[in-house]
């Protein structure tokens, strides 16, 4: 049972089995004072080991030049392979089902080139309403590039009138109704705006019952939620590395492609040299022969320097484990919700409402506050009090208490500041 009390928050921090991990990140400061950083769902904090990992590659580049591809301390030729274990454990996949490469929207386009194959009868793409804008742009352009019109080929599932989140049963009902005309279902695992986590297993099952391909944008889910992409039979997924995965601005993306597609050279794809069968890559022959698994979707050489930053973060995730992270995340977010609701229930006039689901199974490390008035003023007040959250137009404050480096005392402080002379 939670308590609205500073001593209680501090007692939770003392008992926190993950409390030591905060010291492994740089915490930003303003005026020599550490900020309360609740913006890990936009850009995660820097692990202190990042510089060392990048310096190793810079030194090998300086000392070896091209020989670093095979003679470096972490040979660049197979650099991406070291991520197979940590990433597969993070997303619930087999090692050969994942690869780290490119950036998120680039990978979504590559994956849609393979898994969106419209026909005159089956040509629509289904997405959730209020998806991240980049997903809209990518999906609309894919539809147009195949000669179809987004106005008739793009299905958006939206909340019921008067509601703020999408009911899973409504999403499944749309799939049942439109399934025979849907070529691809592409859903954000966690909606960036509301923080709603979707039931990916149920969506995948419903889509496959009607022959649809099913993929997920996991930008706000990877490193945030425990997932079982392989067991759920998801066709594909992609995510970025710079949010919950703390891999730096513009950090590399990850891709999941289910094992059932691992050895299908005939499956459509946009090919490149680095996806060619590794054992024959330097024969420089014509005729693309893909490497087995997700690695066969690579295009170009690994991005070594951003991948070095990614390595520093994944070492921490692999050490902690997603189960422990999920447990603390549920506690942190639950405590934030408790404090907010207790204070809101005492207000005669509400200033905001929570639009993130109350069910912990339907959310991750995020609470989104819909400001009913003076939203930007509230947000600016937080900033002036050394609290870094995230403002999303037109009137939402996103708050992400991340289990690796945020504390229960910070959650308590946030709510105290938010309601002080609100």
**Residue showing tokens 């024969």:** 283
In a domain, 1, yes or no: no
Angle at alpha carbon of residue 43, lines to 201 and 317, rounded to 5°: 60
Single out the residue of 86, 158, 73, 144 nearest to residue 112, CA to CA: 144
In a domain, 398, yes or no: yes
147 and 231 belong to one structural domain? yes
In a domain, 78, yes or no: yes
- CB atoms near residue 146 (< 10 Å): 15
Distance CA 349, CA 370 (A): 14
In a domain, 264, yes or no: yes
Single out the residue of 268, 352, 266, 252 nearest to residue 302, CA to CA: 252
Identify the pLDDT of residue 195: 97
Identify the pLDDT of residue 266: 80
Identify the pLDDT of residue 350: 82
308 and 285 belong to one structural domain? yes
305 and 372 belong to one structural domain? no
Identify the pLDDT of residue 31: 87
Q: Point out the domain boundary residue: 304, 319, 334.
A: 319
Identify the pLDDT of residue 265: 77
Q: Burial, 79: exposed, middle or buried (Cβ in 10 Å; 0-12, 13-18, 19+)?
A: buried
Cα–Cα separations (whole angstroms), residue 311 to 19, 70, 107, 242, 361: 21, 19, 19, 12, 29
Which tokens is 319 given?
């050490």
Single out the residue of 308, 303, 266 nearest to residue 287, CA to CA: 266
Phi then psi for residue 408, to 5 deg, are -70, -35
**Residue showing tokens 């993950």:** 18
32 and 154 belong to one structural domain? no
Q: Point out the domain boundary residue: 290, 319, 348.
A: 319
Identify the pLDDT of residue 355: 97
- CB atoms near residue 28 (< 10 Å): 15
29 and 59 belong to one structural domain? no
Distance CA 187, CA 189 (A): 6
59 and 207 belong to one structural domain? yes
**Residue showing tokens 């392979």:** 81
Identify the pLDDT of residue 421: 61
230 and 287 belong to one structural domain? yes
Sequence-distant (≥ 6) Cβ neighbours of residue 260 within 8 angstroms? none
153 and 236 belong to one structural domain? yes
DSSP-derived secondary structure letter, 273: G
| 16 close to 408: Cβ distance less than 8 angstroms | yes
In a domain, 99, yes or no: yes
Identify the pLDDT of residue 422: 59
Single out the residue of 386, 399, 388 nearest to residue 352, CA to CA: 399
Which tokens is 190 given?
């966690």
Q: How many domains does the chain have?
A: 2
163 and 91 belong to one structural domain? yes
101 and 156 belong to one structural domain? yes
Sequence-distant (≥ 6) Cβ neighbours of residue 4 within 8 angstroms? 338, 339, 342, 343, 412
Distance CA 209, CA 75 (A): 44
Q: Point out the domain boundary residue: 300, 319, 338.
A: 319
- CB atoms near residue 244 (< 10 Å): 32
Q: Which residues of 316-336 are buried (b: 16+ CB within 10 A; e: fewer)?
A: bbeebebeebbebbbbbbbbb
In a domain, 279, yes or no: yes
Which tokens is 313 given?
């973060």
255 and 232 belong to one structural domain? yes
- Where the chain has pLDDT below 70, the residues are 421-422
* Domain extent at residue 194: 53-319
Distance CA 309, CA 313 (A): 7
Q: Which CATH number is 287's domain given?
A: 3.40.640.10
Sequence-distant (≥ 6) Cβ neighbours of residue 255 within 8 angstroms? 98, 99, 100, 101, 107, 110, 111, 236, 237, 238, 294, 297
In a domain, 402, yes or no: yes
Q: Which CATH number is 325's domain given?
A: 3.90.1150.10
Distance CA 366, CA 196 (A): 9
Q: β-pairing, 29-30 with 33-34?
A: antiparallel
| 286 close to 259: Cβ distance less than 8 angstroms | no
Identify the pLDDT of residue 326: 97
Cα–Cα separations (whole angstroms), residue 390 to 283, 329, 419: 50, 18, 17
- CB atoms near residue 106 (< 10 Å): 14
174 and 306 belong to one structural domain? yes
Which tokens is 81 given?
């392979």
In a domain, 275, yes or no: yes
């Amino acid at each position: 049972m939670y308590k609205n009390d500073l001593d209680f928050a501090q007692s939770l921090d003392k008992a926190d089995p993950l409390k030591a991990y905060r010291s492994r990140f740089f915490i930003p400061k303003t005026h020599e004072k550490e900020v309360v950083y609740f913006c890990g769902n936009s850009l995660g904090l820097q692990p202190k080991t990042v510089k060392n990992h990048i310096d190793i590659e810079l030194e090998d580049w300086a000392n070896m030049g091209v020989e670093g591809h095979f003679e470096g301390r972490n040979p660049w030729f197979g650099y991406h392979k070291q991520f197979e274990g940590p990433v597969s454990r993070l997303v619930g996949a087999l090692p050969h089902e994942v690869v780290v490469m490119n950036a998120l929207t680039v990978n979504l386009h590559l994956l849609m080139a393979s898994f969106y194959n419209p026909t005159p009868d089956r040509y629509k793409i289904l997405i959730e309403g209020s998806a991240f804008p980049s997903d809209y742009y990518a999906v609309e352009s894919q539809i147009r590039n195949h000669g179809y019109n987004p106005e008739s080929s793009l299905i958006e599932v939206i909340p019921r009138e008067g509601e703020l989140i999408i009911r899973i049963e409504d999403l499944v009902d749309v799939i049942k109704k439109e399934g025979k005309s849907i070529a691809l279902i592409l859903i954000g695992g966690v909606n960036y705006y509301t923080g709603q986590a979707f039931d990916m297993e149920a969506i995948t099952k419903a889509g496959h019952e009607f022959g649809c391909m099913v993929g997920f944008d996991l930008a706000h889910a990877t490193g945030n939620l425990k997932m079982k992409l392989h067991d759920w039979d998801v066709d594909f997924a992609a995510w970025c590395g710079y949010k919950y995965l703390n891999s730096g601005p513009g950090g590399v993306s990850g891709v999941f492609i289910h094992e059932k597609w691992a050895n299908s050279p005939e499956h459509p794809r946009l090919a490149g040299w680095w996806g060619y069968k590794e054992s024959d890559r330097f024969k420089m022959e014509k005729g693309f022969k893909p490497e087995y698994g997700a690695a066969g979707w690579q295009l170009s050489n690994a991005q070594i320097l951003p991948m070095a930053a990614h390595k520093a973060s994944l070492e921490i995730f692999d050490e902690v484990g997603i189960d422990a992270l999920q447990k603390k995340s549920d506690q942190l977010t639950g405590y934030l919700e408790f404090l907010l609701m207790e204070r809101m229930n005492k207000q005669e006039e509400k200033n905001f409402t929570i639009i993130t689901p109350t069910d912990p199974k339907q959310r991750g490390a995020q609470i989104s506050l819909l400001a009913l008035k003076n939203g930007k003023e509230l947000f600016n007040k937080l900033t002036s009090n050394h609290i870094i959250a995230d403002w999303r137009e037109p009137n939402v404050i996103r708050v992400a208490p991340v289990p690796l480096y945020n504390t229960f005392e910070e959650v308590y402080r946030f709510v105290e500041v938010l309601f002080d002379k609100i």
